[in-house]
Structure 1
């Protein structure tokens, strides 16, 4: 079955170009130039991944991202015309999974889409084995991979798919240091990681905020400076 991709960008040339390249990869593309049209589509269509421009005529891509996240957990990639850190951080804060700066190479977008879909399918697949095997318990933290639920001290944590997956990796490798590069490649399965890429850093920060954790006195996620992150045994 064809995966359904939502593309929202008011620049027709960019939207058309993305549509062409994605359709060539056998994806079903739902293309819109306004957030209003996109929201109407979301209500009636099961989307697998969304690509949102930040600058839309009727609503910012950030706001659209927030509205999607109310009811949907599928991956969201933000497009930004500005190579500014604040745009990237804002997008990730509001629930986006990745960002691409314009101008971009269409094949890079295709690669990012494939990586996100692979990660999301793995995240959503129910692994073979017993229920006990899909549950990780650690110091008041309960992570259930089958139901995609995370509970901390008997209170549910509202995690994005990427945050959930990062926490799961760290818990599965308790006592071991996992580098930002390892986390990035494990989640996105692509080669676009660079030393200047702070995507993982931002997601770790949000995880800590939601868990009430701190860098200075971490109860869960510990930063090993210059190496990576780990959860102590």
Structure 2
């Protein structure tokens, strides 16, 4: 018996909501809509959605505010919908805990693929949690990742990470000294086969380093840039 996928579509333009609903319902997803930030936050806090498509520029509360408040309570995957000229807002959205963004005007097919990618990743994470054994804690000289508790500590002080920052750190830490390109990280961490902005990776790495650096400079140095290639996790950085 298949589980129903619940998606919340938030945009103040009815035309966009209708378009997204049409394409997502073709995948047999259950769609709910909100036309402003206040309504969106109330629905998101009171219901369990698998994915939220969240416009940034909206009346009452914008998408940034909604995501900020939502992250205080829930880790529901969020994909931001942004206008082309809103790069600063896109970065801000990622920093407040959005998983990714899609730029308007967008291809509805791209949106469907992004949603499916998030669903695959969530299913994979749940499977890993269900199969968790004694190897569920990664311990390094300056950093500890406790998968069961979903907690990261540096020098014994907890580091507050967004869900995507946590996933990125875990992925890199599981393969010390292995260099991953931005494209590989988009594919493995974001599960994107065809679409994805490489700046999404750079923004998350930057924020991850900053948060680690606030607690431990040595822990922050473990996320290493390999120029012209990508990033790696180095256990004993120089």
Structure-1-length-normalised TM-score: 0.91
Which structure 2 segments of 5+ residues have no match? Answer: none
Residue equivalent to 1:209: 210
> How many matched pairs?
231
Deviation at 1:21, TM superposition (A): 1.1
Contact 2:24 2:112 in 1 (8 A): yes
Q: What SS is found at the alignment partner of 2:192?
A: coil
| Aligned ranges 1:109-188 → 2 under 5 Å | 109-125=111-127, 126-131=129-134, 133-188=135-190
Asked if the contact 1:185/1:193 (under 8 Å) is kept, the reply is no
Q: Deviations over 1:64-89 (max 9, x none)?
A: 11111111112110001224421221
- Name the residue aligned to 2:63: 61
Asked whether the equivalents of residues 66 and 94 of structure 1 are also in contact (C-alpha less than 8 Å), the reply is: yes
Question: Do the aligned residues in 2 keep the contact of 1:95 with 1:160 (CA within 8 Å)?
Answer: yes
- The structural deviation recorded for 1:218 is 5.3
Q: Are 2:37 and 2:58, in contact at CA under 8 Å, matched by a contact in 1?
A: yes
Show structure 1 runs of 5+ residues with no match: none
Distance 2:76 2:62 in 1: 19
Measure the CA separation in 2 of the matches of 1:218 and 1:129.
27
Instruction: State whether residues 213 and 220 of structure 2, in contact with CA within 8 Å, keep that contact through their aligned partners in structure 1.
Output: no
* RMSD of aligned Cα (Å): 2.1
Please state how far the C-alpha of 1:127 moved relative to its aligned partner: 4.6
Instruction: Tell me if the contact between 2:183 and 2:198 (Cα under 8 Å) persists in the aligned partners.
Output: no
Corresponding residue for 1:72?
Answer: 74
> Bigger CA drift: 20-29 or 8-17?
20-29
Q: What is the CA-CA distance between 1:165 and the residue it aligns to?
A: 1.1
- Paired with 2:141 and 2:125, the residues of 1 have a C-alpha distance of 23
